[in-house]
Structure 1
Amino acid sequence: MSQLHYHAQPTLRDPLVIAAFRGWNDAAESATHAIQYLADRWSSEKIAEIDSEDFFIFTETRPTVKITDDDKRVIVWPDNEFLAYSAPDLERDIILFLGTEPQLKWNTFAQSFLKVCRNFRASEVILFGSMLSDVPHSLAVPITGASYDPATLSRLEEMTLPTSGYEGPTGILSVLHEVCHQAQIPTTMFWAAAPHYLATTPNIMVSSALLTTLNGYLSLDLDLDEIQAEARRFSSRIDAMVARNPEAGEYIRQLEEQLDELENEIEIEIELEEEDEDEADSHREEQSTPLPSADVLIENIEAMLRMEREHQGLPYHSDDDEKDVE
């Protein structure tokens, strides 16, 4: 059975692919929500999908049952879909990809992704990811970039975006990054850091930051007023909740100080390049201050968010809900 299904073959203008995956690469569902935000506001056309059968362990990533408007039960499988969007005010067309990180055959999956990019002659690929980190919601969302292309790295430097030097376990995004690079398709990854104490999903502030970065990087002139306003309202609600909880306020203040110390440490490292290594290590120890446990903060903010959502009659979901199911 073919792993690829094409639903349409539109002629696209110099298409740009923007992709995100649910799962390990999607802390607080921030990356996928950024893609979904665009898909919901554009009249996009489903042009292709990667079949889930060969790539998932369905006892780990389970299909779901849904009831249709005419009361029929349908099975919804993990999806990996390509959506095309064309607009006369944009110089190029856009292919949105929204998927779920597979458990199996990553190389085969990556080749299927690449085939779709080649089929529609994609000229560039952007990959969105998000990770939980010790960052406060009160400061700008940290964004890092990654690319193999020297020109792209120069562009990231112009935008004062730090590049990632991460080494360790990785997700499907890094595999796609390498496969597309080997196929000579310019590819850039943008990773956003989400506050680890806000498990509520999606984190609108992080999604907004990713889209704002994309807008600046490619000069797309996308209208992001709505999601940016949502992000400000979300931040204000968290501020109000933290103001009612002195322990939460103290924790966030320490996170802010830790980031300041980290920035100062980078400057100090430059000054200490010629210094004896033992003296440098001693200086780092003096600069570092351990943070207290965030358990109480997380529980309090999650409880307040849940009560607020229930009071408004809105659904609430947190990352912990998924852990409970597992």
Structure 2
Amino acid sequence: MRDPRTLYELAPDAEVPAGLPLVAGLTGFADAGGAVAQTTAYLRSTLETRVVAAFDTDELLDYRARRPIIMFEEDRLTDYRPPRLSLDLARDELGQQFLLLTGFEPDFQWERFCAAVLGLIEGLEVGSTTWLNSIPMPVPHTRAIGVTVSGNRSDLVEAMSVWRPTTQVPANALHLVEYRLQERGHPTTGFVLLVPHYLADAEYPAAAVAALEAISASTGRIFPTDALREQAREFVARIDEQVAENGELAKLVHALEERHDAYMEGTTVRSPLTDEDGEPPSADEIAAELEKFLAFRRNRDDERE
């Protein structure tokens, strides 16, 4: 393996206090409800940040699979914003510092990227690492978003993890980082938000709010969420209106509510994410419900035009 340190460039003034928490969220895979994208964009746009290390995009990104956007105006190209992946020093709403790793998930060189991140964590004497992920699950939007918690911080697992499966999942780059950090005994927490499957392809502001709450629980950092909460209320109000006008969707949401509530009350229901036989829904079933919901939304939009 080539030297992982050549995969990024440190800022000349990269002075970071020891012991800071690191928060990570990379986009590109299984970002249900746009939770990771919304959260990281919100943090970068609302907080004071300064680049500590910038990763080499040309080494890590498959441009043909995820083409960047360039602006064309009438007869000329006017703007190009290359994809970025960086580690930044940020301050929360109270001025408390933390490190923020955001950008695209690498397409290539996962082991080298992981080694680079671990080297930065060790060199900067990071106190703990927290990362975000989100997946679609058959849960209702009328209940608080739950999380599955991984890592070696048992206090957070016991307090917050509502679903603890034993299963195989497609990995992403931060799974590998967490796995390697656990091997080293570094305090590590992964939050997987369980987003309603019928909202997986939408930007669901409540998912970003839940993500920020999880980060606060793990790091003690405080973030401004008023704008996101207002967006979430408006979004849910629109969804409630659409569900109320469609009998099949109303039945779906009601069934999900009953299953969720029974599980949370500690009954014999195995999980809020399974059917009566204890089986999770198939990908085809989730896709069918999602397509039904989106078709209804499109019809409503057409009627209003």
> Same fold by TM (over 0.5)?
yes
2:168 partner SS: coil
Equivalent position of 1:59 in the other structure: 64
1:101 to 105, 116, 124: 105
Mark the runs of 5 or more structure 1 residues left unpaired by the alignment. Answer: 271-283, 312-326
Equivalent position of 2:273 in the other structure: none
- Residue 108 of structure 1 deviates from its aligned partner by 0.9
2:99 partner SS: strand
Question: CA deviation digits over 1:247-300, x for unaligned, max 9?
Answer: 221221122233345557x64379xxxxxxxxxxxxx64x88988952322321
Is the counterpart of residue 12 in structure 1 residue 8 in structure 2?
no
Preserved contact between residue 137 and residue 195 of structure 1 (Cα < 8 Å): yes
- Structure 2 Cα separation of the partners of residues 307 and 53 of structure 1: 46
Instruction: Summarize the alignment of residues 215-226 of structure 1 with structure 2, pairs less than 5 Å apart.
Output: 215-226=216-227
**One-letter code aligned to 2:23:** I
1:299 to 295, 299, 303: 295
1:197 partner SS: helix
Change (3 A) 1:182 1:288: closer
- Structure 2 Cα separation of the partners of residues 186 and 303 of structure 1: 48
- Residue 35 of structure 1 deviates from its aligned partner by 1.9
Question: CA deviation digits over 1:200-259, x for unaligned, max 9?
Answer: 542111111111122234433433233223222221221122122222212211222333
Equivalent position of 1:126 in the other structure: 130
- Residue 304 of structure 1 deviates from its aligned partner by 4.4
Preserved contact between residue 242 and residue 301 of structure 1 (Cα < 8 Å): no
Equivalent position of 1:236 in the other structure: 237
Question: CA deviation digits over 1:158-213, x for unaligned, max 9?
Answer: 34654453423222121010122234421100010111212454211111111112
- Structure 1 Cα separation of the partners of residues 251 and 262 of structure 2: 16
Question: CA deviation digits over 1:9-40, x for unaligned, max 9?
Answer: 12335221111111214223212211221221
TM-score by length of 2: 0.81
Change (3 A) 1:63 1:87: closer
Equivalent residues, number: 288
Equivalent position of 2:203 in the other structure: 202
Equivalent position of 1:139 in the other structure: 143
Change (3 A) 1:108 1:86: same
Is the counterpart of residue 24 in structure 1 residue 29 in structure 2?
yes
- Residue 61 of structure 1 deviates from its aligned partner by 1.8
- Residue 44 of structure 1 deviates from its aligned partner by 0.9
Change (3 A) 1:170 1:307: farther
2:190 partner SS: strand
Question: CA deviation digits over 1:96-131, x for unaligned, max 9?
Answer: 111212222211111122223233221111000001
Preserved contact between residue 125 and residue 188 of structure 1 (Cα < 8 Å): yes
**One-letter code aligned to 1:268:** T
- Residue 51 of structure 1 deviates from its aligned partner by 0.9
Instruction: Summarize the alignment of residues 1-326 of structure 1 with structure 2, pairs less than 5 Å apart.
Output: 2-7=6-11, 8-66=13-71, 73-86=78-91, 89-90=94-95, 92-147=96-151, 149=152, 152-159=153-160, 161-163=162-164, 165-260=166-261, 262=263, 267-268=267-268, 285=277, 293-294=288-289, 295-301=291-297, 304=300
2:59 partner SS: coil
Change (3 A) 1:296 1:33: same
Mark the runs of 5 or more structure 2 residues left unpaired by the alignment. Answer: 271-275
- Structure 2 Cα separation of the partners of residues 164 and 182 of structure 1: 21
Preserved contact between residue 92 and residue 223 of structure 2 (Cα < 8 Å): no
**One-letter code aligned to 2:142:** S
Preserved contact between residue 110 and residue 173 of structure 2 (Cα < 8 Å): yes
- Structure 1 Cα separation of the partners of residues 108 and 279 of structure 2: 41
Change (3 A) 1:303 1:194: farther
Change (3 A) 1:256 1:269: closer
Bigger shift: residues 102-111 or 124-133: 102-111
TM-score by length of 1: 0.76
Q: Which has the higher contact order (CA 8 A, sep 6+)?
A: 2
1:143 partner SS: strand
